Structure 1
Amino acid sequence: AIMTFTCHNNHVSQVRHERGKRLWFDVSEVPVDETIVNAELRLYQNANYTLRLPTTYTVTIYLVLLDGSQKELEYVDSINTTTGNEGWLLFNMTGPLTNWVVFPKTNRGLYLSVHAANRLSHEMQPEDIGIVLAGDRESEKQPFMVGFFKTIGVNNKKRNRKTRELHRRKKSDTESSYPRNPFSDPESLWSTRSCQMQSLYVSFRDLDWQDWIIAPDGYHAYYCKGECNFPLNAHMNATNHAIVQTLVHLMHNEVPKPCCAPTKLSPISVLYFVYEKNVILKKYKNMVVKSCGCH
């Protein structure tokens, strides 16, 4: 299975370095019994030819630790880049994601640090070398994390049932004191433009079918509408194919985005005339949209 996670940022108020960015990911929807095969953080860098020498910079990702220990930041990964580079920067996030899923209370996010390769003490703003941050206008270049999971079998699921129940109880106990997202309200993340179900009532009279349909007079059919923009969150019911397609779309614009379409349909029963004499009650499949998703 593949899951993507949108990014939220904020300044790290309790960390000494002020010229960096805080990146936070809500991973609470990852089942605790999923095996994490790999995880990546991706940051987009626009080319910036306005900066003078030095042209080589180091981008470093740290794990934020605010648990009372003396160490405030823990090194995760780093990469060297130049001001002329254009494209995605990839960082290994397997360790932090695994830790956040097992111990959700430790999820204090990441710290992004940028400095000249030969001046480690001089920290810069990520935007200075063209890195796109959360909240910037370039929506398709926002930072994101992608996780690759191996789902366990049925027998192993039974074996780990107690582990899941313990995780749910632990999560429930901490929800009141520890917010899922310490930087923003999760409800505000919902976009009315995202793929979702819309109301639609179909009147058989409007279709001029009242002469042969006895009942019902109409029904609530609903329909799917909205965008399938990256990242595809859990409420979008995206398939693995759709998630991969959005990743490819980020690299190659000629590949279209996934489409918003029904993921579940239900039947309705219709009473109607046949040859003006016989009456038949028939159930028609796939008539009502029950849920929508990106495909």
Structure 2
Amino acid sequence: AAPLFMLDLYHAVAGEEEEEEEGEAAVSRPVLTGLSTQSPPPGSVVSRADTVVSLVNMVEQDRDIFSPKPYWKEFRFDLAQVPTGESVTAAEFRIYKARGVTRHANTTLHVSIYEIAAEHSNRESDLFLLDVQDLRAGTEGWLVFDVTAASNHWLVDRKYNLGLRLYVETADGHSVDPGSAGLLGRRGPRSKQPFMVTFFRASPGPARVTRAAKPPRRRQPKKTNDLPHPNKLPGIFDDVHAADGRQVCRRHELYVSFQDLGWLDWVIAPQGYSAYYCEGECAFPLDSCMNATNHAILQSLVHLMKPEAVPKACCAPTKLSATSVLYYDSNNNVILKKHRNMVVKSCGCH
């Protein structure tokens, strides 16, 4: 279930990224619309995340109809592989509900999910309520619970990770065995097993100290700090001409195939992507289309005077964008990560 959901999420995010490339404000949508297997998380949650990690249920315990009431089902997840230096923006627990064996399909069920805060040998565990849903007993499909608070506690200290506990009750408070209500666990089909999805974002750096406000100055006429255009510089460079027919600095095609790199045993999607690269001459005079920095302009001037001492300016990326990659980690968790600076958008002389 987790890989299918994550693959759908990848396709939805990739579609949003393509629309952003075309200038559309895709991330302003309230939800992602490309998910076919399950209800999508809010689009704002996904757009803020740098990494999305799906965690498979590692340990499952039941107090079922063969045990005293109240009945419950417990789930545990291994957060050892979560990215370092990142904070949780959201976390969801997803569990599939089949029709179950309840005689009254129109009965309302009260499904609640708790964080196990502490365990005791001589009494019941301490529980912290995370989320609740009311639904018809005959409902079939994925249920999604907000477990962000638990995920944050577990990341602060791994010893707090005692798992989640799920209860099902009727409207009049009678305990119902989750399995009898149709909630599938590890014994269910592989495509319908419960899992957890956690959204991470890189933690911001240390906050800058706010300086005391200064009295406003009188506005001075605006001055430009730009160097004069190289073609307008007078003097000994008047007769120098650009690259003499050689190709000027620009972006070139480069497709990176993950199959050629031998990465498809752990990369799920994409099969590859257009990375592009920068190449070409940065010869004087540097035209405006070369996106040259002031430093590159001056370096080019000095190079003309001392070619053996100072090299030409280099053709390099001036703007890069991210691309999302879906892959397995060493524990077989499926991860969707937005890798920054993967695609060259424009080139210039540096």
Q: Structure 1 length normalisation: TM-score?
A: 0.50
Tell me which structure has the larger Cα radius of gyration. 2
Q: Structure 2 length normalisation: TM-score?
A: 0.43
Which structure has the highest strand share of the two?
A: 1
